[in-house]
Structure 1
Amino acid sequence: MAKILNVRNLEKSYSSGSKRLKVLQDIHFEVEEQKTFAIVGPSGSGKTTLLGLCAGLDSPDTGSIELCGSELSELGEDERALLRNKHIGFVFQDFQLLPTLTALENVAVPLELQGDKNASKISKDLLEKVGLGDRIHHYPSQLSGGEQQRVAVARAFSNRPSILFADEPTGNLDAETGEKVEALLFELNKEAGTTLVIVTHDIELAHKTQHILRLKGGRIVENQEKQV
């Protein structure tokens, strides 16, 4: 199966006072199309930094990232934004919904950026699929945390992404609500044939994926493909 994400010799550091703090070093891995993939590790291990680099939201100090057939270092900022809008979906721990837009409008944003004339209908169908057909005109402040995350999941799938990056998608939810959102994420992912990359500290969630990459101190300590 083709590789949708290929990471080679990745290193990243940040300035901390007068020192350089190395966050990631010697990172190599690849993700196949339509696979589910988890990045795990303790706080401060570099998980979220790695996710941001893979999605083209930040640039590494050294190394290469090939995403959806494009070498990210060769793309300008506008080209990266275009790649993200066309091929990538995101789900964040803190939902990141636009407070002044309704659930329907939030889901429609990626489609409208692409000029899709069916944005409203597709968004309504997705919201019904995640169980929010009766909440489409509600604003984020009128929704519970679990409902907001379901809107975020619907939005992530609205542009039919090739790959979806989820950063601690259940981190702000109680256990029961988190399980429902997890089930939804995997169900929609399978249905859409999307590649799913999840950053999580939840080992149970990680074990539901087909591949686990474990980080510690900015290095890979385990890179394991598994049968689900």
Structure 2
Amino acid sequence: MSNILNVQNLQKVYSGGNRELTILHDLTFEVKKGEVFSIVGPSGSGKTTLLGLCAGLDEASSGKVELCGEELTRLTEDERARLRNRKTGFVFQDFQLLPTLTAIENVAIPLELQAEKAAFERSKMLLEKVGLGDRIHHYPSQLSGGEQQRVALARAFVNEPEILFADEPTGNLDEETGEKIIQLLFELNKEHGTTLVIVTHDMELAKLSNRVLRLKGGRILESEIS
């Protein structure tokens, strides 16, 4: 099985005033195509920073990230954005839906950026699949937290990404709603054959993964088969 994500000697350093703060220290690991890969660790361990670097949302201070066969350090910001839109999906803790757009308009955004003619047709189909067929014209403010995260899931899968990054996808949800969202996430992931990279503090969620990477203080403690 080939790798969809390769990370080599990755470091992230923030400079402020006369001091430097190293968030990530010399990380090396890989994610294979089709696997579910979780990144766990306490608050402040660098999980979200690492996810952002792997997805090309931020630039590393040193080291290399290869995503879907492209070395991110060699791409311009615009090229990274195009790669993300074509080949990746995102699910965030705080949903990140645009408040002035309806559910179906939010889901259609990645396809509209690609000038996909069937954007709304595919968006409607996915919203029906996540149980929101009767809510497609509702705005985020008219939806519960669980419903908003369902919209975010539909948006993440609508462009049929090769890899999906999920940052604490149940962090703002109660336990019961969170369990339903995870069930949906894994069902959609299996159906689409997507690689899934999850940042989570939820060890029960991490146990559902093929592999778990443990971070502490910006360093890898261990990588294990779960």
**TM-score by structure 1 length?**
0.98
Task: State the match for 1:140 in structure 2.
Answer: 140
SS of structure 1 residue aligned to 2:95? coil
Count matched residues.
226
Task: State the match for 1:102 in structure 2.
Answer: 102
1:221 Cα offset (Å) = 0.1
Task: State the match for 1:24 in structure 2.
Answer: 24
> Using the alignment, how far apart are the partners of 1:96 and 1:175 within structure 2?
20
> Using the alignment, how far apart are the partners of 2:147 and 2:42 within structure 1?
27
Residue 195 (structure 1) aligned with residue 195 (structure 2): yes
Residue 216 (structure 1) aligned with residue 216 (structure 2): yes
> Using the alignment, how far apart are the partners of 2:76 and 2:95 within structure 1?
27
Task: State the match for 1:15 in structure 2.
Answer: 15
> Using the alignment, how far apart are the partners of 1:136 and 1:157 within structure 2?
16
Deviations along 1:151-176, one digit per CA (max 9) or x if unpaired, are 00000000000000000000000000
1:193 Cα offset (Å) = 0.4
Residue 160 (structure 1) aligned with residue 154 (structure 2): no
Task: State the match for 1:87 in structure 2.
Answer: 87
Task: State the match for 1:35 in structure 2.
Answer: 35
Residue 62 (structure 1) aligned with residue 77 (structure 2): no
Q: What letter is aligned with 1:104? A: I
> Using the alignment, how far apart are the partners of 2:167 and 2:16 within structure 1?
24
Q: What letter is aligned with 2:181? A: V
Deviations along 1:1-38, one digit per CA (max 9) or x if unpaired, are 11000000001111244211110001010000010000
Deviations along 1:176-220, one digit per CA (max 9) or x if unpaired, are 000000000000000000000000011111111111000000000
> Using the alignment, how far apart are the partners of 1:66 and 1:138 within structure 2?
38
Gaps of 5+ in 2: none
> Using the alignment, how far apart are the partners of 1:17 and 1:149 within structure 2?
39
**TM-score by structure 2 length?**
0.99
> Using the alignment, how far apart are the partners of 1:21 and 1:200 within structure 2?
23
> Using the alignment, how far apart are the partners of 1:23 and 1:180 within structure 2?
33
1:57 Cα offset (Å) = 0.7
1:116 Cα offset (Å) = 0.7
> Using the alignment, how far apart are the partners of 2:75 and 2:206 within structure 1?
31
> Using the alignment, how far apart are the partners of 2:173 and 2:10 within structure 1?
32
**117-126 vs 14-23, greater mean Cα deviation:** 14-23
Deviations along 1:28-76, one digit per CA (max 9) or x if unpaired, are 1000001000000000000000000000011111100000000001101
> Using the alignment, how far apart are the partners of 1:21 and 1:222 within structure 2?
23
Give me the identity figure in percent. 72
SS of structure 2 residue aligned to 1:189? helix
Task: State the match for 2:174 in structure 1.
Answer: 174
> Using the alignment, how far apart are the partners of 2:147 and 2:17 within structure 1?
41
Gaps of 5+ in 1: none
Task: State the match for 2:4 in structure 1.
Answer: 4
SS of structure 2 residue aligned to 1:28? strand
Q: What letter is aligned with 2:55? A: A
> Using the alignment, how far apart are the partners of 1:35 and 1:114 within structure 2?
27
Deviations along 1:91-131, one digit per CA (max 9) or x if unpaired, are 00000000000000000000010111000110000000000
SS of structure 1 residue aligned to 2:181? helix
